[in-house]
Chain A
Amino acid sequence: SAVISQKPSRDICQRGTSLTIQCQVDSQVTMMFWYRQQPGQSLTLIATANQGSEATYESGFVIDKFPISRPNLTFSTLTVSNMSPEDSSIYLCSVEWTAYGYTFGSGTRLTVV
């Protein structure tokens, strides 16, 4: 399956600041997905990122808060902007690898203080 490298693995940030999370895939993929996983909870899709076009955001998530870049077929970034403690979560990137099955990165554990 695809190998996904996600950075940073964890961070503690001050409220009001921004954090950019990087996701590097070892193969070219069409779609990359960004998920949020709040403590002890399930996975919620933030947005889908296609190379060469703007990301598609799910209900409840907006580009100003979670800007996404997708400069090529192997890389994407998610920025969490103007952070508050409510943004403390695990953020995961994933790609479709087997037909419809996903491969996930190891996640970024974000704590906002």
Chain B
Amino acid sequence: GENVEQHPSTLSVQEGDSAVIKCTYSDSASNYFPWYKQELGKGPQLIIDIRSNVGEKKDQRIAVTLNKTAKHFSLHITETQPEDSAVYFCAVLNTGGFKTIFGAGTRLFVKA
């Protein structure tokens, strides 16, 4: 089955710096790659996603890149702000199977 690895497990950056979180997956049939943000006491929230026919997608300060050949994708947050502090989960889905596999999570701390 699909295996998703996420790194780093913890990331601390200064406000204004960039943060990058990386995930690798094993199943070449996976074709949908969302990122979720989970704040304390809340459920995960979808913040950006990318499909396998696209190499990069941006939404304001957030971007996701996908390298299908190498089977990895990354979340990029620019100009980080304290409110970006949260746990971020990558996920992988083969849309024919309807089962999303989540990475282990990255706890991001943005220091003011």
**A contact residues vs B (CB 8 Å cutoff):** 1, 4, 6, 31, 41-43, 45, 48, 92, 94, 97-98, 100-107
Contact = CB atoms under 8 A, between A and B. Distances in A.
Interface of B: 32, 34, 36, 41-46, 49, 89, 93, 95, 98-100, 102-105
Contacts of A31: 98
Given A31-B98, A100-B32, A42 B104 contact: yes
A45 B36 CA distance: 15
B40 to A, nearest CB: 11
A45 B98 CA distance: 12
Nearest to A59: B1
Q: Which 3 A-B pairs have the closest CB atoms?
A: A104-B43, A101-B46, A43-B102
B43 A105 contact: yes
Contacts of A103: 46
Given A45-B99, A101-B34, A101-B49, A106 B105 contact: no
A100 B102 CA distance: 13
B100 A42 contact: no
Nearest to A4: B43
Nearest to B105: A42
Contact of A42 (B41, B42, B89, B95): B89
A94 B43 CA distance: 9
Pick from A31, A43, A106 the residue with the most CB of B within 10 Å. Answer: A43
B100 A102 contact: yes
A92 B93 contact: no
5 contacts: A42-B89, A92-B44, A100-B32, A103-B46, A104-B36
Contact of B49 (A92, A98, A104): A98
A59 to B, nearest CB: 9
Contacts of B46: 1, 97-98, 101-103
Contact of B45 (A6, A41, A100, A104): A104
A109 B68 CA distance: 37
Contacts of A43: 44, 89, 102
Contacts of B99: 45
